[in-house]
Amino acid sequence: MQQQETAEAKAQGDSLSAAARTGAPAETPETQQHSYETQQQQQQQQQHQQQQQQQQRRQQQQQQHNTSRSNSYAIADAASRFSLLLVHAEAAAKRGEANADTLAAAAQQQQQQQQQHQQQQQQRQRQQQQQQQQQQHQQQQQHQQQQQQQQQQQQQHQQQQQQQQQQQQQHQQQQQQQQQKQQQHVGRGNGRSTDKGDNKDRKETIKAERRQ
């Protein structure tokens, strides 16, 4: 366990030192975990949206299939009724029956109902097309929003990198300032020791001259 922690700490230290040399932002385990979680969330959102779109397409296809099938049945039924009434009306007219006009009127009414039914079907189809267009428009808007979110996340990531670079630069400047202070302090210490040695030599020279 200690060896694993030591290896992880060494890897993190190597990453920080390499980042300091290259000027690039260091990737810590926290930033790596954050980017990994962000990618996972984006993938899950995309998968969820794709599933929703597939379900919507299936529902639309099923609705269209059911509508077209019911419309076909209704048209066939109306046509058969109209044909039957027309046949009865023609037969009654040939026989000279009094209800021939009534049957002809019923046939005309059936034809009108069939035309109305077809108009209703056309309106329903137009409404379905409009709904599909609206759904496509909503999907496009959602896609645009996703792109904007991704761009914002990229911008935030770039800002974080810039902040990390600025912090590293500040840290390097502080280190340089400390090094300069240390160098100045060392230089002053050497100068004082040299001055003391010169004063001592002068005193000894004066004493020697007085003795002579």
Instruction: Flag the least confident range among 118-132, 174-188, 192-206.
Output: 192-206
Whether 41 and 98 have beta carbons less than 8 Å apart is answered as no
Q: Provide the 8-state DSSP code for 23.
A: T
CA dihedral sign of residues 76, 79, 84, 87:
negative
- 58-74 pLDDT per residue, tens: 777 777 777 667 666 66
* Cα–Cα distance for residue pair 150/39, rounded to 1 Å: 10
| Mean pLDDT confidence for 86-113 | 73
pLDDT digits (tens, 9 = 90+) for 114-134: 888 888 888 988 998 898 889
The domains of the chain are located at: 45-140
Other Cβ atoms within 10 Å of 118 Cβ, number: 14
CA angle 63, 65, 68 (to 5 degrees): 105
Predicted confidence (pLDDT) at residue 149 exceeds the cutoff of 60:
yes
Question: pLDDT of 11-38, one tens digit each?
Answer: 555 554 444 444 444 556 666 677 777 7
Residues 6+ apart with CB under 8 A from 150: 42
Region label for 27, one of left (φ > 0), alpha (ψ between -120 and 50) or beta (otherwise) = beta
Yes or no: say if 110 and 77 are a contact pair by the CB < 8 Å rule: no
Q: Whose structure tokens read 């645009």? A: 144
Is the CB of residue 132 less than 8 Å from the CB of residue 67? Answer: no
- Enter the tokens of residue 181: 């202070």
